Amino acid sequence: MLKEKIIKELNNFKNENRFRILKTINSNSINLSSNDYIGLGNDSDLIQDFYKNYTHLPLSSSSSRLISGTYPLIDKLERNLENIYKKPALFFNSGFDCNCCVIETFCDSNTLVISDKLNHASIHDGIIHSGATLLRYRHLDLEHLRKILKNNSNKYETILVISETIYSMDGDCVDLKKLIDLKKEFNFLLMIDEAHSFAVHSFGMCYEMDCLEFVDFLTIPLGKGGGSTGSYLICDQIYKDYIINKGRKFIYTTALPPVNIAWNLFILEKMESFSDKRLKLKELTTVSHKLIKKYNMETLSTTHIISIIIGNNSKLDHIVEYLSSKNYFIYGVKEPTVPKGTSRIRIGLSPNLSVENITTFFEELNYAINNVF
């Protein structure tokens, strides 16, 4: 019975051209699907330098943080973070665990969570697990958020508002200042996810805008611009203590190996010195947006993440196929990751690309959009 049900569902995915497969990356292709936004994850000089400084690091921690998994390197990493952000820090094994854990540990049926409609799946799952009431505001529409706050601010014990900084699927960006102004007016708890802005904006946009004191839970997943793995949580000591005592996704999992922690520490110590990489990314972003205008392509992006809306799944497949034949590694994104009818080409820029790569790519993309069906 179960297998029959699954086969039927998978066949539906195939009929709607949204059956997912895992593609192996060809190392010779031009990768426009990377989230290594400032090129830290595969900078061979940096990696060589790292291994010169850190030798013979264990490849397993063999225990959870609460048993013997809080080894000195994690301690040092959290202390360094505290020095930077002027608030306690806690290291998680992944951004998904970190987001989920914060929400399910601090929210319950007495909580109202107000979440941007396009927040990441880890945020949505955390809300569902928590049993909190969920209201969603239109993507980045802070006037809509204000209306929801006005109608609900006296009805709940706790209100948590959640936003990302830069959004992964549209490459658009929250008005952080306006969000903080709303917090000052309505006094809710605020959670911000910096997965797509950390490293691109050095220690992140909240740090850059000097508004850390207003962010109750700052999560910094490291698998994108951070060039690594795991996630930082920056929050008050009382919340940190509570998670150490109650956070199931923090307590009941084996800590990441020392080699990953050492790499995070190494990157963090050098973070401010990567301005060349950030400048290159900025240049490529400007060039890309000029080309999008030139070719009249449809995008909501204002940043280094650029989605070009295609809309039709089958057409998207043909465009991706064409671009692959021209040696570009590029991903098409479809529902349910993005709303139905908005399937798209998602481009993640990185300083590993050249202006020439970008110019030729947009030329080919323009050709494919107009000629490939």
Ligand X SMILES: Cc1ncc(COP(=O)(O)O)c(C=O)c1O
The footprint of ligand X (CB under 6 A) covers: 94-96, 99, 120, 122, 164, 168, 193, 195, 221, 223, 231
Nearer residue to ligand X within complex by CB, 259 or 372 = 259
Backbone φ and ψ of 345, nearest 5°: -90, 125
> Which residue lies nearer to ligand X by CB, 96 or 106?
96
Q: How far is the CB of 96 from ligand X (least distance, A)?
A: 3
Tell the smallest beta-carbon distance from residue 217 to ligand X (Å).
Answer: 13
User: What is the separation of C-alpha 318 from the centre of its chain, rounded to a whole number of angstroms?
Assistant: 27
Judged by CB, which is closer to ligand X: 43, or 116? Answer: 116
Nearest residue to ligand X on Cβ basis = 95
- What's the closest the beta carbon of residue 99 comes to ligand X, in angstroms? 6
Q: Which is nearer to ligand X, 99 or 287 (CB)?
A: 99
Q: Residue 221 or 348: which CB sits closer to ligand X? A: 221
Residue appearing with tokens 């084996």: 254
Alpha-carbon distances of 14 from 2, 73, 312, rounded to whole Å: 19, 47, 14
DSSP codes of every residue in 240-303: HHHHHHH-HHHHSSBPPPHHHHHHHHHHHHHGGG-HHHHHHHHHHHHHHHHHHHHTT------S
Burial class (CB in 10 A: 0-12, 13-18, 19+), 213: exposed
Q: DSSP class of residue 64?
A: B
Q: In this complex, which beta carbon is closest to ligand X, that of residue 193 or of residue 364? A: 193
Q: How far is the CB of 223 from ligand X (least distance, A)?
A: 4
Residue 153: CB atoms within 10 A of its CB come to: 14
Tell the smallest beta-carbon distance from residue 55 to ligand X (Å): 27
Provide, rounded to whole angstroms, the least separation between the CB of residue 227 and ligand X. Answer: 12
Nearest to 18 by CA among 315, 372, 225, 219: 315
